[in-house]
Amino acid sequence: MGNDNLRNNDELIKKLRETKTVVTHFGDDLDNRSSIYVLEKWAKDQGILKEDEQIIVERVPAGKVKDGYINLDTGGHTGCREENGTIVIDGNPKEGVKSAIQALKDRLDVEVPEQILEIADAMPNKISPLDTRSGLSLQKYTDIKEVFKMAEEGLLDKELTDEQLEKYGLVEAQKTQQKIVDEAIEKINKYTVELANKEKVVISPEFIKAGSAVAYELGINYFASVDMHKSGEGVTFAINSKPGVTLPENIRDYGKELVEKYKNDDGTSGVFVHPNNSMVVAGGPKNPDFKVDMSKEDMMEQIDTLFKEYAREDIKKQIGEQDLKMQDLMNQNIKLDEKEN
């Protein structure tokens, strides 16, 4: 495997030797942590990096790439490409590649625990975010090598026992995670609004750790949060929907308008609308330098208005569907009457 593996990755090897650098998005999650770890381990196994060397990690806003470098999980699920000395390795769900780590594993032909591949870029349905003892909820508190060991034992989607928490040094981490969940529930209860169509949405004037995942578990389909930009001027925001639920069309359209408004010369934008229509994000942890030029009050009002408009249209749609059903029932009764007569 070794020689063929090297020949198939000439440009990747060249870039690693030249730069000793990988570029990824701001913030860390299981996908980019796993990908960086696997790439560094592979490079050392192949003699590309010395055992005492570590890959330098640079950050870019989600959806962007750094020309002339290896870009690994930079966000947006753009898939893999290689051109003009720039390498991009990322997931592409439309082609069945769930995550960057899966794309990297396929390219390097290396072993990665199956559980990492399954859940690196997704929250499994059977794991509740309210379960603060699950391996996945606690993985961010420990070294990635330990996370791989947990995955080999199949523990990432399991509730860890006291002995397992002790084994992986996660006793205090579990307490910290429980506090985060408790605070999220308290704030979600405070900021939840019931729409005219009886659906509920969280519209929060602050970032809430684990907020969206907890809200979905509580039966809320939509979660929005707005925060002041770190500069003190402008705002960042995110509007998300529960997995399997798409954002209302008018909210998606608003996001697309902002994408165009804040488009850069290279075609990227500080505003991101997820291809599966589950998310509109402007700035935030994966793009901390970006801001929308609005006050927090105006953005909160804008989001509130968008959801109210959606609810009104949804009620009209429901009434229209009821009218159609009633008309269909009446037509059936008329046919029965005619037949009897």
Residue owning tokens 């005219």: 196
* Contact call for residues 175 and 189 (beta carbons, < 8 A): no
* Res 27: pLDDT: 87
* DSSP per-residue letters across 52-118: T---EEEEE-TT---TTSEEES-SS----EEETTEEEE--BGGGTB-SHHHHHHHHHT----HHHHH
pLDDT band at residue 4, thresholds of 50, 70 and 90? very low
- How much is the average pLDDT of 45-53? 94
Q: Is the pLDDT of residue 3 over 60?
A: no
DSSP structural state of residue 123 = -
pTM of the model: 0.78
Which one is predicted more confidently, 328 or 264?
Answer: 264
Thinking of the domain 184-314, which architecture would CATH place it in?
A: Roll (3.10)
Return the SS3 of 263: strand
Exposure b/e, 74-84, CB count within 10 A at least 16 = b = bbbbbebeeee
The radius of gyration of the chain from alpha carbons, rounded to an integer in Å, stands at 24
* Res 162: pLDDT: 97
pLDDT band at residue 5, thresholds of 50, 70 and 90? very low
- CA 114 to CA 231: how far, in whole Å? 42
- How much is the average pLDDT of 15-41? 95
- What are the residue boundaries of the structural domains of the chain, listed by start? 1-122, 184-314
User: In the structure encoding, which two tokens stand for residue 83, read together?
Assistant: 């051109």
Which one is predicted more confidently, 96 or 101?
Answer: 101
Digit-coded pLDDT (tens) for 237-292: 999 999 899 999 999 999 999 999 999 888 888 899 988 899 999 998 888 889 99
- CA 167 to CA 171: how far, in whole Å? 9
- How much is the average pLDDT of 61-84? 86
Return the SS3 of 35: helix
Digit-coded pLDDT (tens) for 117-142: 999 887 666 678 899 999 999 999 99
Beta strands at 56-60 and 21-25: parallel, antiparallel or unpaired: parallel
Please provide the average confidence, as pLDDT, over all residues in the chain: 89
- How much is the average pLDDT of 299-313? 96
